[in-house]
Structure 1
Amino acid sequence: MALVSNSEIFPSSFQQYGQFLSENKVIKGTKDAERVENVGMKIKVAAEKWLNANGHQGYLKDYKWEYNLVDSKEVNAWCMPGGKIVFYTGILPICKDDAGMATVMGHEVAHALANHGQQRMSAGVYQQLGAAGLAVATGGQSKETQELAMAAYGVGSQYGAMMPFSRAHESEADMIGLTLMAVAGYNPETAVAFWERMSANAGGNKPPEFMSTHPSDATRIANIKKLVPEAKAEAAKFGVTFK
């Protein structure tokens, strides 16, 4: 289900990303900011290699990659369509190292590559029938449209609770993300430790899986463990191996 194309979404995405940066404290010149950019560049190169090798040459031609660290206690990161990425400082202690950061970066980039935001935004069009829905479908830029789009890409707003990524989207992003981090040279086994730290940070304050669109931590970790060998096998095709 996709009512909006990349040619319609990308300009809006780039505009809204710039607006978000102008309204928040972007951190530049620090070691952490440089790490976000360095890890992001490696994930970008990995995505290009992997997509090209799998018959998707030119898939990223309209992407304009950008990586920014934003000062916020929120434990979050996101990637808007077209490769516009934000990491919040609140997630850095849980990332712990570059491999943890690559776990998050790979996962968020995977959402963008698989057009999950586009699909979720299209769902929002159906849910917001009327002026806001029509504006989204036709590329309009009303306040409601902008909020709907930002929510679709993972940025909190009044629509955030209405359109979380589905379990299927999350599982697909985990699978693709593990592959991207592995091709980039980061051991996908380290993703398990990252999600264990995320689970510990949440302190059990999550709804049961049947009430949530996200997999439970236990389910996600178990699935990731099963996917690690596949990610390693994909990386090996590019000459990347792990002990």
Structure 2
Amino acid sequence: MVTVRAAAKRGYFENSWLQSYHSFSFGDYYDEMQMGYSLLRVMNEDVIAPASGFPTHGHQNMEIVTYLLSGSLEHKDSMGNGSTIYPGEVQRMSAGRGVTHSEYNPSTTDETHLLQIWLLPNQRNIEPGYEQKRFEDEGRNHRWQLLASPTGEEGAVTIYSDTLLYAALLDPKRVLDYSFASDRVGYLQLASGELIVNGEALSAGDGARLSAGERLQLQGGGERAELLLFDLPQ
């Protein structure tokens, strides 16, 4: 079964420099029916104004993945990492027993648009860790590109969570399939464009919960679709 999470029904927070849409309960937004799905705890779509960002703050025992859609993001953390992330790159931070970091839009003219994802870990209180990799568009044109996995195969970043994270780019009318094992569920997030999922039409910002054993047929809609797919334990 495909259960659509409409973009318009997400939680929303706004201040002078941030617009943030929450697919699941986060911050001041609480919905007892939207507490995450399997190991996926947070799916936030953030738009950060120029020369602004998140000041230093802390996390514990969470796998945090950042996926850039446009603009750039400057990252600094208590592990000594300092880098800038661009579209096509994926950042993984394992908070483990505790880490602090800041995230900042270094541009004075352009907004930063990103998805921030939190996954529950398979180990608690591990040594904090950081990884950043670039993935070329050619690797996900009309096919699945593995971005993150527990073993880091196929050039993916390594996450301490029983999760496979894929990305795909799908042009109008192009078709892509995926089948979940009988003990695995899924979540799909449409970052941009339009998509038809087993007959259900999705627009940018929509998500969908996917039942165990689901067989997906995806078809590109009127605009090129950029999507993320999570393969998760039931």
State the TM bucket, normalised to the shorter chain.
under 0.3
Structure number having the greater strand percentage: 2
The TM-score, its normalising length taken from structure 2, stands at 0.27
The TM-score, its normalising length taken from structure 1, stands at 0.26
Structure number having the greater helix percentage: 1
